[in-house]
Amino acid sequence: CNHARSQFIKHVARVTLKEFMDDLNVISNKVYEEDKSFYSSRGVKVHSLEVTGYKCAEASTSEVLQQIIQETTNRMNRLSQQESENEVKLYRMQGQIEQERLNGELLTIQHEHSQAEAKVAGAAEADRVAAFVSGLAAEVPKLEDRMLMWQTLRKTEALSVVSQGGASLYYTPSDVNLSIEAGARAPA
């Protein structure tokens, strides 16, 4: 209707291009609200007032508007691309967090298993020592001597394992319980 068009033009003429672009719907509602009586007095019921198109009066304004539209479109595209990149980064980080959480759980389980194995190995070694020490009680009554025998056997086992690996062995006097005595020389 021509009346709505002229009222709309009147309101648009009062605002800047930026206000027009930002508040197009607000301007439409204002035009509709101000002239309700005009339409009702003529028996016309207006459901909504919408802008289906617009054309700039000046070519320079049209060019500026096209540049604004193009820049707005480019900005929206850049924002959309940045949002997509942010989502990818977010999912990547969430995956890394989940992976680290699972790695932590794995380390906890491995640590628990390692402790259990060490306890079993320690208990077996303790049983072995106890059986050795108690088994020799009748033949070697002194506990210190039995412990010394146990330590000697353990050293022998350790040396056997090391020597099978092709390693060079160096003994110190304390390792071999070596004592040197100086005796009288026979006359030459």
pLDDT over threshold 70, residue 163: yes
What would the mean pLDDT of 108-125 be, rounded to a whole number? 95
Domain ranges of the chain: 1-54, 58-136
Residue 22 vs residues 17, 25, 27: alpha-carbon distances, Å = 9, 8, 10
pLDDT score recorded for residue 87: 96
pLDDT in tens, 28-65: 888 878 877 777 888 888 777 777 777 777 788 788 87
What would the mean pLDDT of 8-19 be, rounded to a whole number? 81
pLDDT over threshold 90, residue 88: yes
pLDDT over threshold 70, residue 188: no
The Cα 146–Cα 133 span in angstroms is 6
pLDDT score recorded for residue 178: 59
Question: Contact at 8 Å (CB) between 7 and 35?
Answer: yes
pLDDT score recorded for residue 162: 78
pLDDT score recorded for residue 173: 67
pLDDT score recorded for residue 168: 74
Question: Contact at 8 Å (CB) between 32 and 46?
Answer: yes
The Cα 167–Cα 55 span in angstroms is 94
The region of weakest confidence among 28-32, 109-113, 144-148 is 28-32
What would the mean pLDDT of 72-77 be, rounded to a whole number? 90
What would the mean pLDDT of 146-164 be, rounded to a whole number? 85
String of b and e for 87-118 (b: at least 16 CB within 10 Å)? eeeeeeeeeeeeeeeeeeeeeeeeeeeeeeee
pLDDT score recorded for residue 65: 79
Percentage of residues in the chain having pLDDT higher than 70: 90
The Cα 161–Cα 182 span in angstroms is 35
The Cα 105–Cα 98 span in angstroms is 11
Phi-psi region of 12 (alpha: psi -120 to 50; beta: other; left: phi over 0): alpha
pLDDT over threshold 70, residue 179: no
pLDDT score recorded for residue 98: 97
